[in-house]
Amino acid sequence: MAKIADLYYKADPFQIIEEGFDPNYAKVSESIFSLGNEYMGVRGYFEEGYSSDSLVGSYFNGIYERAEVSSQNYKGIIDYTEFMVNSVDYFYTKVSLDGEQLDLAKVKINQFRRYLDLKTGVLKRSFIWELQNGKQIEIMFERFLSMSDACMAGQRIRFLPLNFDGKLNVSLGLDFTRPHYMTGKNYFTCVEGSAEEDSAAEKNSLTEEISKAEENSMVEENSQAEEKSLALEDSAKDDSLFLIGTTKNTGQKIASMCKIDVPNSATGNIEKEENKIAIAYQIELKKQRETVITKVICNLVCKKKDESEYKKFNVRCEEKWNNRANFHYDQLLAESIMWWKEKWKESDIVIEGDELNQQGIRYCIFQMHQTYHGTEAGTNIGAKGLTGEAYSGNAFWDTETYCLPFYIFNNLKAAKNLLMFRYETLEEAKLRAKELDCKGAFYPIATISGRECCSLWQHSSLQLQASTGVAYGIWSYVKLTNDVEFLHQYGIPMLIEISRMLVTRGDYNADGTKYGYYGVMGPDEFQMMVNHNCYTNVLGKLTLKFTYDVMKQLKEEGLSEQEIVNRYQVSSEEIEDFKKKADDMWIPYHADTLLFEQHQGYFDLPHVDVDAIPIEEFPLYHHWTYDRIYRNDMIKQPDVLMMMLLFNSNFTIDQLKANYEFYEPRCIHESSLSPSVHSILASQLKKHKEAYQFFGFATRMDLDNYNRNTDEGLHTTSIAAAWMNIVYGFGGMRADGELLSFTPSIPETWTSYSFRIGYRGNVILVEVSKKEATFQVLEGSDVLVKIYENEYTLDQSKLKLEIPC
Amino acid sequence: MAKIADLYYKADPFQIIEEGFDPNYAKVSESIFSLGNEYMGVRGYFEEGYSSDSLVGSYFNGIYERAEVSSQNYKGIIDYTEFMVNSVDYFYTKVSLDGEQLDLAKVKINQFRRYLDLKTGVLKRSFIWELQNGKQIEIMFERFLSMSDACMAGQRIRFLPLNFDGKLNVSLGLDFTRPHYMTGKNYFTCVEGSAEEDSAAEKNSLTEEISKAEENSMVEENSQAEEKSLALEDSAKDDSLFLIGTTKNTGQKIASMCKIDVPNSATGNIEKEENKIAIAYQIELKKQRETVITKVICNLVCKKKDESEYKKFNVRCEEKWNNRANFHYDQLLAESIMWWKEKWKESDIVIEGDELNQQGIRYCIFQMHQTYHGTEAGTNIGAKGLTGEAYSGNAFWDTETYCLPFYIFNNLKAAKNLLMFRYETLEEAKLRAKELDCKGAFYPIATISGRECCSLWQHSSLQLQASTGVAYGIWSYVKLTNDVEFLHQYGIPMLIEISRMLVTRGDYNADGTKYGYYGVMGPDEFQMMVNHNCYTNVLGKLTLKFTYDVMKQLKEEGLSEQEIVNRYQVSSEEIEDFKKKADDMWIPYHADTLLFEQHQGYFDLPHVDVDAIPIEEFPLYHHWTYDRIYRNDMIKQPDVLMMMLLFNSNFTIDQLKANYEFYEPRCIHESSLSPSVHSILASQLKKHKEAYQFFGFATRMDLDNYNRNTDEGLHTTSIAAAWMNIVYGFGGMRADGELLSFTPSIPETWTSYSFRIGYRGNVILVEVSKKEATFQVLEGSDVLVKIYENEYTLDQSKLKLEIPC
């Protein structure tokens, strides 16, 4: 089924531009113009309100709510789930002029232009509002989330009356009243939920100030608070607001505070509603004179329902609140732009001769950095990042298999933090293993807090790839960074627990000749309850072997058995058992055809000609009865091929070719991650045309709304795959072998492209033109790599190699 | 895991006796002393109220409510389910004396005795109530449901004051206030729900009377109604009550009316509450003189939410109401007892030398007749009959495979009605097939109204045995009755639609050499999403072949192709396709070992030693994680062996032996139907000891509460299997071959046993003693049968044959 681009935004190498507003794209644009800084994310909604279809979404990484799942009362099936909850609209704004309310669903506007600058992370929107009385005013909204100080955000509004003097009404505030879109419910309590309730005895004057402020819905105005009408000074004045929302079931807190700078001529009134606070200003406008309002926002969160955490949170709130005089829009923005400048220096990909893909890949890189960059431990990457509510903000095994490579080569701190998330949730994974009658740790297939959130047992109980994915992540990270300290302190405890699970979840077949996993669902979610899924068995084998090798290495380094027991609570019998199960693991491989069988019996399944399925039957989940999807050889996404990408150097090119040619025609690519994997392997097989076809929408999946569901949020993990598609695909980089290696090729339509990767403290630039590939260390020292089967030591000089035909 | 008898009731050949009341058995006894007449069922609860744990359950066959199922939003998964709803307590009674309330959880009683007479279907309960003031009164409750006029029931209460004269307070009434036990909700509206609402224009004086009576909560007293206090005549008087309840979501109606006969000295007051109406009597008691109260109840139902059905229902209500003067307890009882007398003549099984099994098998036969006997079309047999709420009153494929044989040999009308239920719900099954992307008819795995009620897709979408079970039922019924008219009018339309489903649900394997069913769950519910389940393929093959043969026969009888098309809307191409798929059906059979493989790949599954599973891990569903149950060769119930029982003559004794010896050790018998199947086949294999061991609890599963869940209701379909266990097991009867055949044996501990079967209009008596088996036609003409490999013509003389060693 062909996916068709829906070109709406203007092409530009470093900006995403919407010229003229089409209401049909309102929600898609809200997703596209999402801002994020890992800590929080906000959709690109019209902050002044939009009475037509809109998802006013504002999310914090790790702030979630719970929903009961109607349990089927079987052991191992979860009874409640968690979802990232829609929270405070800190850009809340209302604008009215002469009794007319600014609402782009209703008023007349022209010269609408919205643009996101990928270089700086600033989103701007401008238009001319033509009132019914003929007045015209140009308005520009600007916003950013700080990358350098993640709790901070800025909003700036400029008003330019073109043909009149007059009074404008503007309200700015903090709004916790928005419902969670997926459930229609609001999950916040703003008055009673303050953290100090149970610690009154220990309050000092500052916490008292906060709690008093909370009780008064947190209004402070220039330290000279007046409830009803503000006495305004001659100089430009600033007003401040402060509201704390507490999630109803999880007891997490968001403190949202802001300082508003308004012109000295403005008069303001406080507006209070339940869960909302704002100041309504009246501002004098002068014809052809620009009036600017800025709002600097600080959002602090407390993720744990815990007295001592609440206290610490209060202290942090106090500090920020007391320091609000130092909230400066321009300074904050300048620091954030500096952050972006550094990142682009390390991560940019330049494509010449393909403006759309140039824009697309930069948008992907921008989103990857926005979504995650290692700000703090304890968070992960939701399937939609922080841009929407689909997939409930849950992180999947995509993190380790699709996202981690990007971070390993672009932001090591972020890469490590992603793995630390798994370490910090190891106890949850151990509980989950117990629920599933296993020893060790069984990592959740979907999670926010570490707890399994997938209510479909056929996924949450049968998919082992979250657990083996963590092991793969540790293996990749350690291999590429030599971070032995991480391995010893965090990696080994995880590897041991995962291995324990692997040797208890597996079974031997009837005659004891084959060890492997029964009743599983591999990466391909169209084959359920299968035995000896090749991917699962191979990943299981390599995980067990890796754990064994690591432990053996420790011994070789002189650690005694007893020291190992003391440090890791694992006996040598157990370690030997890991090896035995790894050795006994059965891999369904057919030497005659070079084919790996996706699972035992897969080759005998009924064949479906996927090209013959009518286009109107897609997506199949909506048009085919649930069980029918599972009864044939059609696959949803790469499974054997995924394995061959992850451990690429383990397979010969002939094996890859045979399996690619067998499985690709059976794949319907219903996962957005599927085409990139196929594109990368097609490049390796020199099927360049096919590689470029699969690449097709990788970089522009959301910009061109290929799946027609960008309105729900961005396909964040696909965005990671788009990066891999260029670096691993056309660049031919492989990181799983002895040496980092490259086999660059270039798509026919491109003039040249280049990418940069960070590797062991060095930044390597790879430039590929029609004829030659150039390698250069931009920062750092010599690096030994393999290029087209030969080894080279890269340094700061340019190594030029001809591209073979 | 050993199942252990919990002997509580006294052994007796024709009665179930409880002597002395043990509150721990309160709910078990409520199930054991359930009465039913197919139309309605009522648990043996204490009608006077019991303030300790109790399930006051009163059910009507086909009266159900709906509950939403939290849908997983995949095609083919149901979004609401239906359950048989707890309804009116028409035995509602309250008794008090000198301010003390009769409540067996609180008062002092002795000489408690409760007994159910299986010969007559009368349940009696008597005890002496000793009041705190020293007064003693003997009370006897008696009840029955009429077998001859199924809407009727009777209640009689006798009071015998042993040592005092005094005034007794007794209320009797109709109570729709009881909650459905499983949900805790009440589903009836009694005031607004009357059927005549929308047909006021057409009401005649009688319907007006009804509607007026409804508005007044349906109170009529001796045609001289007085609201508060009744004027009482000298002669014995009768009072009447009438209440109509309507189910809230399904709009079904139950009209409950009763006539109460009280002694002429009684005075009565009407008591009204929402959904309840009663008359509170004060009765003069004389020492050592018995006072009797009788209540004759008539319950009418309207099963369809439909204006014209409501009208017809009103008319029926009027007729009954107007005729209530003719409600006579003794006459009704006498007619019902006559019905039972006839039934026992046809169906009795006599066992000498084993009092417990004698009682047990008669209890089973009694319950089979109570549960179903063909009163009216459109009903089926719930897994718990009408005795409790577990399994939601849903009927399963047990109907055709376990219950139908009993009815075919004991009550042909009932047998035909069961099949007619499937015919009447054919349209629902066609809709279900469509939901599941099949053509034809896909019968529900669990149903009340014909609609699929199982919310677990892994059962409702994967189990084809409901559909093939219907075909098996038609095949058996037609084979044994020669009811060609049924076959032509009802059987063929079902067979064609089932066959259509079978040729669209199936698939060919990759190389096109094997046709069969992928992604199924066979009878053994511990193997899910398997391919080529042997039972499913064999039943599919035989169903297709049977359909083909029947259609071929029609042609041979002279019906032209066009006539077939006109009559059955089926083309000869389609019929040929049935044959082709039947021919191509792959049966996983291993000629070397004579083993049928339960499904493709089953023999290679990890082996579990079921005897090594600790007893505390049972039932496994509660102690093993859900998916773990499915990952090995352990089976829950017979699958291949079930097939070998249903089509017994298709297999050699060597095949049977090989498969029995392979599969039995892998079976944990977690289904209550499992032991009987194994017992029957063990008899056939002359493994007499094993046969008797498996027979063990078949007849007394509920009487001795083997599964410790009889409190939830009786294992009605197991009861059917108990009958098969004797007739098919020890009697060795087989009905699937060319001739009806017998190979009687006798358990070591028995002196003799005999059973009767109805066969083609004849009643055959089979008597088996230690040495010989005697065959005799009691009613009817000569019957050709096969006994121990030889053919005999049975007639009214006794044929005696020695039992071979």
Domain check: are B569 and B447 in the same one? yes
Q: Pick the catalytic residue from B525, B574, B597, B712.
A: B525
Q: Pick the catalytic residue from A452, A525, A664, A767.
A: A525
Give A134: exposed, middle or buried? Use CB within 10 Å, 0-12, 13-18, 19+. Answer: exposed
Nearest CB among A75, A457, A518 relative to B624 is that of: A75
Is A227 contained in some domain?
yes
Q: What is the pLDDT of residue B718?
A: 84
Name every residue whose Cβ is closer than 8 Å to that of residue B120 and which is 6 or more positions away in sequence: B144, B333, B336, B337, B340
B623 CB neighbours in chain A (<8 A) are 75
> Is A325 a residue whose pLDDT tops 50?
yes
> Is B785 a residue whose pLDDT tops 50?
yes
User: With an 8 Å Cβ cutoff, is B228 touching chain A?
Assistant: no
B636 is in an annotated binding site: yes
Q: What digits encode the pLDDT tens for the residues A506-545?
A: 999 999 999 999 999 999 999 999 999 999 999 999 999 9
Determine which of B626, B635, B663 to mutate to test the interface with A (most A C-beta atoms within 10 Å): B626
Q: Confidence band (pLDDT; 50, 70, 90) for B2?
A: low
> Is B409 a residue whose pLDDT tops 60?
yes
**Lowest-confidence region among A187-201, A633-647, B534-548:** A187-201
Distance separating alpha carbons of residues A275 and B181, to the nearest angstrom:
42
**Lowest-confidence region among A402-406, B36-40, B232-236, B620-624:** B232-236
Q: What digits encode the pLDDT tens for the residues A680-717?
A: 999 999 999 999 999 988 899 899 998 888 999 999 88
> Is B461 a residue whose pLDDT tops 90?
yes
Mean pLDDT of chain B, nearest integer: 92
Q: Confidence band (pLDDT; 50, 70, 90) for B200?
A: very low
Q: What digits encode the pLDDT tens for the residues A548-584?
A: 999 999 999 999 999 999 999 999 999 999 999 999 9
Q: What digits encode the pLDDT tens for the residues A242-252?
A: 999 999 999 99
> Is A378 a residue whose pLDDT tops 60?
yes
Given a contact cutoff of 8 angstroms between Cβ atoms, the answer to whether A152 and A146 are in contact is yes
Mean pLDDT of A296-301: 97
Domain check: are B184 and B300 in the same one? yes
To the nearest whole Å, the CA of B450 is away from the closest chain A CA by 20
**Domain limits at B326?**
33-341
Nearest CB among B69, B606, B628 relative to A508 is that of: B606
Helix (H, G, I), strand (E, B) or coil at A337: helix
Q: What chain B residue is nearest to A511 in terms of C-alpha separation?
A: B604
CATH number reported for the structural domain that contains residue B524 in this entry: 1.50.10.10
A435 CB neighbours in chain B (<8 A) are 625
Given a contact cutoff of 8 angstroms between Cβ atoms, the answer to whether A81 and A61 are in contact is no
Cβ B630–A437 below 8 Å, yes or no? no
Q: How many CA atoms lie within 13 A of B770 on its CB side?
A: 6
Structure tokens at B436: 């599941």
Cβ B632–A518 below 8 Å, yes or no? yes
Tell me the torsion sign for CA atoms A270, A272, A277, A280: negative
To the nearest whole Å, the CA of A553 is away from the closest chain B CA by 34
Mean pLDDT of B318-340: 95
Q: Report DSSP letters for A584-626, one per residue.
A: HB---EETTTTEEPSSTTGGGSPP--GGGS-GGG-SHHHHS-G
Nearest CB among B76, B435, B507 relative to A632 is that of: B507
Q: Confidence band (pLDDT; 50, 70, 90) for B221?
A: very low
Q: What chain B residue is nearest to A625 in terms of C-alpha separation?
A: B75
Mean pLDDT of B619-644: 95
Which residue in A724, A716, A781, A796 sits closest to A755, CA to CA? A724
Q: What is the pLDDT of residue A696?
A: 80
As a residue count, chain A comes to 805
B397 is in an annotated binding site: yes
- Report CA Rg, chain B: 28
Is B649 contained in some domain?
no
Is B200 contained in some domain?
yes
Which residue in A632, A610, A638, A380 sits closest to A528, CA to CA? A632
Q: What is the pLDDT of residue B202?
A: 37
User: With an 8 Å Cβ cutoff, is A510 touching chain B?
Assistant: yes
Q: What is the pLDDT of residue B191?
A: 57
Q: What digits encode the pLDDT tens for the residues A22-70?
A: 999 999 999 999 999 999 999 999 999 999 999 999 999 999 999 988 7
> Is A234 a residue whose pLDDT tops 60?
no
Is B630 contained in some domain?
no
User: With an 8 Å Cβ cutoff, is A613 touching chain B?
Assistant: no
Put simply, the chain A residues between 455 and 474 with a CB less than 8 A from any chain B CB are: 456-457, 461-462
Is B749 contained in some domain?
no
To the nearest whole Å, the CA of B462 is away from the closest chain A CA by 7
Q: Confidence band (pLDDT; 50, 70, 90) for A424?
A: very high
Q: What is the pLDDT of residue B236?
A: 57
B398 is in an annotated binding site: yes
To the nearest whole Å, the CA of A73 is away from the closest chain B CA by 8
Structure tokens at A676: 């990139």
Told to judge if B197 belongs to the known catalytic residues of this protein, a careful annotator would answer: no
Distance separating alpha carbons of residues A449 and A424, to the nearest angstrom:
10
Mean pLDDT of A411-419: 95
Is A95 contained in some domain?
yes
Q: What is the pLDDT of residue B698?
A: 84
Q: What is the pLDDT of residue A621?
A: 87
Q: What is the pLDDT of residue B198?
A: 34
Q: What digits encode the pLDDT tens for the residues A263-272?
A: 988 999 999 9
Q: What is the pLDDT of residue A209?
A: 44
Residue A520 gets which letter from DSSP? B
Which residue in B21, B183, B39, B8 sits closest to B105, CA to CA? B21
A518 CB neighbours in chain B (<8 A) are 605-606, 631-632
User: With an 8 Å Cβ cutoff, is B627 touching chain A?
Assistant: yes
Cβ B437–A625 below 8 Å, yes or no? yes
To the nearest whole Å, the CA of A394 is away from the closest chain B CA by 18
- What is the residue whose two structure tokens read 């705190």? B132
- CA distances to A180, B177, B349 from B743, in Å: 70, 54, 17
Domain boundary among B557, B586, B615: B586
Q: What is the pLDDT of residue A191?
A: 57
User: With an 8 Å Cβ cutoff, is A236 touching chain B?
Assistant: no
A528 CB neighbours in chain B (<8 A) are 529
**Lowest-confidence region among A613-622, A628-637, B440-449, B721-730:** A613-622
> Is B625 a residue whose pLDDT tops 90?
yes
Q: What digits encode the pLDDT tens for the residues A113-165?
A: 999 999 999 999 999 999 999 999 999 999 999 999 999 999 999 999 999 99
Given a contact cutoff of 8 angstroms between Cβ atoms, the answer to whether A451 and A82 are in contact is yes
Cβ A507–B606 below 8 Å, yes or no? yes
**Lowest-confidence region among A360-369, A428-437, B681-690, B708-717:** B708-717
Q: Confidence band (pLDDT; 50, 70, 90) for A71?
A: low
In B658-761, the DSSP E strands lie at: 741-742, 752-759
Count of domains forming chain A: 1
Q: What is the pLDDT of residue B615?
A: 86
- The two beta strands, B349-352 and B507-508, are unpaired
Given a contact cutoff of 8 angstroms between Cβ atoms, the answer to whether B795 and B781 are in contact is yes
Given a contact cutoff of 8 angstroms between Cβ atoms, the answer to whether B337 and B120 are in contact is yes
ipTM of the complex: 0.90
Calculate what percentage of chain A has a pLDDT beyond 70.
Answer: 94
User: With an 8 Å Cβ cutoff, is A223 touching chain B?
Assistant: no
Given a contact cutoff of 8 angstroms between Cβ atoms, the answer to whether A293 and A157 are in contact is yes
Cβ A75–B626 below 8 Å, yes or no? yes
CATH number reported for the structural domain that contains residue A31 in this entry: 2.70.98.40
Is A524 contained in some domain?
no
Distance separating alpha carbons of residues A307 and A114, to the nearest angstrom:
44
First to last CA, chain B: 31
Is A339 contained in some domain?
no
Domain check: are B328 and B462 in the same one? no
> Is B210 a residue whose pLDDT tops 50?
no
Distance separating alpha carbons of residues A370 and A40, to the nearest angstrom:
9
Put simply, the chain B residues between 32 and 71 with a CB less than 8 A from any chain A CB are: 69-70
Q: What is the pLDDT of residue A489?
A: 98
Q: What is the pLDDT of residue B293?
A: 97
Domain check: are B173 and B310 in the same one? yes
Cβ A630–B529 below 8 Å, yes or no? yes
Put simply, the chain A residues between 516 and 575 with a CB less than 8 A from any chain B CB are: 518-519, 528-529, 531
Which residue in A260, A301, A297 sits closest to A281, CA to CA? A260
Helix (H, G, I), strand (E, B) or coil at A168: strand
**Lowest-confidence region among A364-368, A521-525, A663-667, A700-704:** A700-704
B101 is in an annotated binding site: no
